Amino acid sequence: MTELLFRGATVYTTQGPGDVDVRVVDGVITEVEPRGSLRGRTVDVSGKWLLPGAIDVHVHSRDPGFPEKEDFGSLTEAAAAGGVTTVIDMPNTVPAVDSAGVLEAKAALARAKARVDFGLWALIRSSSSPDQLQTLAAAGATGFKAYLGYGFDGARKQLLYAAESDDPGLEAPPDYGTLARLGPALASIGLPVAIHAEDPAILNTFKRPYETYADVLASRPPEAESVAISASAAVARQCGFHLHVAHVSSARGLASAEEAIAAGTRLTIETCPQFLWRSDADYPRLGNTMKMNPPVRTMADQVALREGLRRGAIGVVATDHAPHTDEEKGRDLEHALPGTPGVQTLYLSCLELAQQMGDPWLAPRWVSKGPAALAGIAQRKGRIAPGYDADLVLVDPKRFTTFTPHGMRSRQKHGALDGLRVSFAIESVYLRGVRVGTHAAGRMVPPTG
């Protein structure tokens, strides 16, 4: 039996921040009691904050497929360094995760390398059958992801953006009709259905060469996001499945999502630190590090998203950690690949934002409690309470951290938050009661309801 007793920290408890002792036995929290009331060999964490580990529900490990960008080892090392103790990996690895066999092989590969716990999203293709979705769910998928506008290259088993592919054999992207066809099965399975919400017809209509960042914004107007959300939500509402809108980037997108919720849709909203901290005004300084889909938009969008978060309309902050190599990011604006790493800076950037809003204790809701519910693991993770996994992050609220490429553990060092200075530092991180290290210890955490 291994036992730990944390004493002296201010702890994020289910009743709010509290001065309590936390006992951990064999990786599970067993007792949370007033400070000084528990006996045992204590770990003195005086003056620190003890928070539940973050669950980043939107990462791209690139493993298997593109090890030169990232793999499960480097991804989860970066996650662990930033207080992210569970990652849920997107299915656009190669082969893409469209069947139970591929999911099981990916789980085995991830288990051998992961320093933190993980879950896996499964891919919805336009050709997916209800049976395939059932077997993916039975194999432990966290949920399903539909990339509107992204077709499937059957030879390479890879997801490709259809409008940019010259492959005539590319399988058509999933569309609202796909969601409607699979809707009854998705509703009965009960897992969340995440969407990449940019309407392809609108993107095609407004497409123009990217010479300046203004061209990016003109090519991908916020209406592409709001229309995709409204249309997908109409299907979700009729069929009764849970729609999760990934990486909401615009005020309009947020408004459409909230409208759909008001109309009775089971819908959850995710945004990302880059949309909460950056705007088009940052492009001259950050360059293509900031290029991603959907794009970082205007200051008005940033303000609206912060307000949505403060109000609780947005329940999940995730990173869309999407590494590409320096060569791929260093091309001109038109040809640079979209996406940027971010898993390591999730927790601290959210603590800083929450502190600026007047309540730093909001941050664990956005990165831990909300995501645990989405991923169906809220009975094990996302809280500091008896019976929960001892996924714990010790934060020093008196030490500053500046995000620099030098400090990043991802294989790719750049990030959209480069240069941001926050008034917190990660002191140490525990995964199921064990200090995270350089050895694999991660397990798959399938949803349990």
Residues that bind ligand NCD in the complex, under the rule CB under 6 A: 60, 92, 196, 292-293, 320, 322, 338-339
Q: What three-state secondary structure class fits 141?
A: coil
For the bound state, the minimum distance from the C-beta of residue 338 to ligand NCD, rounded and expressed in Å, comes to 3
Q: Considering only 41-49, 263-271, 312-320, 423-431, which stretch makes contact with Zn ion by CB under 5 A?
A: 312-320
CA nearest to 138, candidates 185, 95, 80: 185
Q: Which amino acid does the sequence have at 241?
A: F
Looking at residue 431, its amino acid is L
301 binds Zn ion (CB under 5 A): no
Q: Which is nearer to ligand NCD, 92 or 232 (CB)?
A: 92
Of the two residues 148 and 239, which places its CB atom closer to ligand NCD in the complex? 148
Minimum distance from CB of 278 to ligand NCD (Å)? Answer: 14
Among 175, 320, 391, 427, binds Zn ion (CB under 5 A): 320
Quick one: three-class SS letters along 299-347? HHHHHHHHHHHHHCCCCEECCCECCCCHHHHHCCCCCCCCCECCHHHHH
Distance in Å, CB of 144 to Zn ion, minimum: 14
Choose among Zn ion, ligand NCD, none what residue 92 binds, the Cβ cut-off being 5 to 8 Å by kind: ligand NCD
d(CA 195, CA 256): 14
**Which residues is 33 bridged to in the sheet?**
21
Residue 118 contacts residue 86 (beta carbons within 8 Å): yes
Q: Which is nearer to ligand NCD, 282 or 320 (CB)?
A: 320
Residue nearest to ligand NCD (CB): 339
Shortest distance in whole angstroms from residue 123 CB to ligand NCD: 12
Nearest residue (CB) to Zn ion, 339 versus 364: 339
Adjacent-strand bridge partners of 394: 50, 428
CB 233 within 8 A of CB 257: yes
Residue with Cβ nearer ligand NCD (276 or 378)? 276
CB of 408 to ligand NCD, least distance (A): 17
Q: List 117's β-bridge partners, or say none.
A: 86
* The pair of three-digit structure tokens given for residue 44, joined into one six-digit string: 């003195």
Q: Look at residue 293 and give the partner it binds from ligand NCD, Zn ion, none, a contact being a CB closer than 5 to 8 Å depending on partner kind.
A: ligand NCD
Closest CA to 304 of 283, 280, 276: 276
CB of 340 to ligand NCD, least distance (A): 8
Tell me how far CA of residue 353 lies from CA of 133, 303, 349, in angstroms: 38, 12, 6
Least distance in Å: CB of 58 to Zn ion? 6
Instruction: Give me the residue whose beta carbon is nearest to Zn ion.
Output: 320
What is the contact surface with Zn ion in residues (CB under 5 A)? 320
